[in-house]
Each structure stands twice: as structure tokens, then as C-alpha cells.
Amino acid sequence: MPELVFFSGTMDCGKSTLALQIGHNRSARGLQGVIFTRDDRAGEGKLSSRLGLVTEAVEAAVGMDLHAYLVDQMSRGGKVDYVIVDEAQFLAPEQIDQLARVVDDLGLDVFAFGITTDFRTKLFPGSQRLIELADRIETLQVEAMCWCGARATHNARTVDGVMVVEGEQVVVGDVNRTAEEVGYEVLCRRHHRRHMTSASAHASAISPDVLPVNSA
């Protein structure tokens, strides 16, 4: 039976790499799929992994009907055996509903990959709808790590190296941005609650609690 599967995890845990691997395995067996993505770090219409792998994809623009797109492709003679959706957290809830229709009406497996919560620890609307509708939810087994060595469970946004907890829900960035840019970092819950990023932890480590006093 075809399924809507949601692969979830924090940033930097290999979601896009797994999406590319699933596509590769199926194409090697002669199957053809459609890959949707939204706001990938490599640019519009790209699915990229931090390992350096990149493939072409269809940009799932705001307001785009994903079900109608696939029906049009198939009615024109295009072969579609499965669907991959990366950055699924950025999709609107109605687009997740369309993916469920793809499974139920077109009989296609849909593999969706995304982050569950944003930098404020709030559910992305797309991810919330996937949790509500998915036939199966898989948490990726490759664990991202906080700077302290603990398992990372939360995504933090930084501006000029400082963690922020207010702002627009979607601002495209990456874990590899410089401190002067909008970036992201994965943290354990304890350090996310304390707003303690690797940069602030390093600053605390090199700043002594008591400054030396020159007795001369």
C-alpha cells in the first residue's frame, strides 16, 4: 500500500542526504520520481545535502497545487512512480493535504522530509499537518549533536552570533553561515533554554569570572 511517510529531525541530521539516497535507490531500479523542495540552501529548484550532493527539483512555490501538478504530468504521459518532498516544514497545510491525496487518489508513495519545530520550539504548520496525516513518522537515527556533546533536539537561530527567539518563522539560513549573518545551530534543550550557543559558551570560557587585579 502506498504511504505518506514523514521523516523528521533537527537540522544537520541527514534528512536531505536520505532523500537523495531514496531517490537514487529507486532510479537505479528504473523508477521515476518527482522531487519537490522549498527554499533549499542551494537555491530555487534544488535539493542539496551538506555533504555536497545536489540534484534538480521542482520548487513547491507558495500557492502551488502539488496534486494538480502531478496529475498534469501524468496526463501528459509522464511517468511518476513516487514523490519526494524536502523542506516539507515550509509547505502550507493545504499542500500537505494535497500530498495525502497523491497517496490516496494516485497511489504513489510520498516521502516527506522536514524539521518539526522552528527556532522558537513551535511547530511549523506544514510539519504539524504531516504529523496529523502521515501514515508513518520516522525520526532519523543519525543524531545531530549540541556543542556540549549531548544529543541536539532544538534548532536555534543566531544573528551576529547571538541567539534570537523572535522574528519571522521562516528565514533561510544554514548551520555553516558566518557569525555576521543569520545562521542556525542545533542545541540540546538545556542550552536552547539558556540561549547558550557554541559562540557564547566559548566567550564565557575565555572570560574569567574574576578579573586579575594588578597590585602594583
Q: What tens digit of pLDDT does each residue of 90-134 get?
A: 999 999 999 999 999 999 999 999 999 888 888 999 999 999 999
Higher-confidence residue of 37 and 52: namely: 37
Instruction: State residue 206's pLDDT score.
Output: 46
CB proximity list for 139: less than 8 A, separation 6 or greater: 7, 8, 9
Q: What is the pLDDT of residue 152?
A: 85
Catalytic residue among 3, 56, 59, 87: 87
Give the mean pLDDT of 44-58: 79
Model confidence, pTM? 0.75
Q: Is 87 a catalytic residue?
A: yes
Phi, psi dihedrals of residue 119, rounded to the nearest 5°: -70, -10
